[in-house]
Amino acid sequence: MTEGAAHSQRPAPPLRTARLTLREFLPSDLEALQALAGDARVLEYAPAESRALEAVRRARAPPAVRRRPARRRSYELAVVLQRGGKLIGACDLALSGPRAADIGYMLAPRHWGHGYGTEVAQALVAFAFGALALERLSAVVAIENDRSRRVLENAGLVWEGLMRRHLRVRGRTWDCHLYVIDRRRWLAISTPCAAAPARGS
């Protein structure tokens, strides 16, 4: 896919994982998303006004107001269970340069601990280096957010540095870790090793 096509204003195709679909928001998602984004456990390390809420409000706006810029700068996606279609979270990928982006995600606490966060991050990584043909993907995580660090590591991102006093959430300032994966690493970890010797040879 060319760069122009990748960042056009067309809706993103749904991204499927083993158990989830990541899709564009629908106007009917607002209530579930507001409940999610209003949960204190979800908001512990995240700003209340998420890009996801903006995306749903945009989806509910009249068509004349809904137009996106010609070149899309971010993808805010609903996280829904394939079985039953329930919305359990939200995630986003925001371009930070011509070939680079940042990702973020949040899930309803009753669904934590089942590997969904890892599936979401893995799907965003595959989307970034596959359809969007990016070179670098990063995520910023508050230093106490150990769950999210594990999710990023599970998806292949590696620690790149400490960003002191980077995030301010409801009056509290957090030091943050910067996690990164580049295309070369993605190819290395997503391609089966062709050179591996066959057993017994």
Ligand X SMILES: CC(C)(COP(=O)(O)OP(=O)(O)OC[C@H]1O[C@@H](n2cnc3c(N)ncnc32)[C@H](O)[C@@H]1OP(=O)(O)O)[C@@H](O)C(=O)NCCC(=O)NCCS
Question: Which residues contribute to the site for ligand X (CB under 6 A)?
Answer: 42, 45-46, 104-107, 112-118, 141, 145-148, 150-151, 154
Closest alpha carbon to 181 in 147, 152, 151 = 152
Number of other CB atoms surrounding residue 61 within 10 Å:
12
Contact 72, 198 (CB under 8 A): no
- 22: β partners: 15, 79
Kindly state the smallest distance separating residue 173's Cβ from ligand X, in Å: 16
* Cβ distance to ligand X smaller for residue 74 or 154: 154
Are 48 and 33 spatial neighbours (Cβ–Cβ below 8 Å)?
A: no
**Four-residue CA torsion sign, 75, 70, 48, 83:** negative
Give yes or no for a contact between 167 and 43, defined as CB atoms under 8 angstroms apart. no
Q: How far is the CB of 40 from ligand X (least distance, A)?
A: 10
Would you say 25 or 105 has its CB closer to ligand X? 105
- Compare residues 133 and 180 and give the one whose CB is closer to ligand X: 180
Rounded to a whole number of angstroms, the minimum distance from the CB of residue 177 to ligand X is 9
Nearest residue relative to ligand X (C-beta): 117
In this complex, which beta carbon is closest to ligand X, that of residue 134 or of residue 152?
152
Closest separation in Å from C-beta 105 to ligand X? 5
